[in-house]
Amino acid sequence: MLIKDIKDLLEAEFLSGEEFSDCEVIAAFGCDLMSDVLAFVEDKTLLLTGLTNPQVIRTAEMLDINTIVFVRGKIPPKDVVDMASEMEMILLATKHTMYTACGILYNNGLKGIKIGGI
């Protein structure tokens, strides 16, 4: 799914990376525990989270996650947005809860990640 379609579906706003709106993601993962993100996320995955600290950007960088959607109307501080911009990451913000945002994306064809054995 293209980032610009995700933005529209979630009624989101770009915080950074709007110039990359034609990029594609193949799966989504909603989580506020960065240890779970490290354990389960794979390439070309969209991360949905309510955390707005620099650890989110650093975790995304380690896993080559290029798109983060902040849910529940959360907006990260300027230093976090600046860090993401320097790394050419796409940041979006939506007022939807994580549950609703994930449901909207799933209902429109973006699947979640697969965890072995579940």
**What are the domain boundaries of the chain?**
3-107
Q: What value does the mean pLDDT take over residues 38-59?
A: 92
Q: Which CATH superfamily is domain 3-107 in?
A: HprK N-terminal domain-like (3.40.1390.20)
Instruction: Tell me the pTM.
Output: 0.93
Taking the CA atoms of 44, 6, 72 and 82 in sequence, report the sign of the dihedral they define.
positive
Indicate if the pLDDT at residue 111 is higher than 80: yes
pLDDT at 117: 47
In the predicted model, is pLDDT for residue 80 greater than 90?
yes
pLDDT classification of 89: cutoffs 50, 70, 90: very high
- Residue range 45-62: average pLDDT? 95
Nearest Cα neighbor of 90 from 28, 1, 4, 11 is 4
**Strand-pair partners of 112:** 28
Which residues lie closer than 8 Å to 12 by C-beta, 6 or more apart? 6, 69, 92, 93, 94
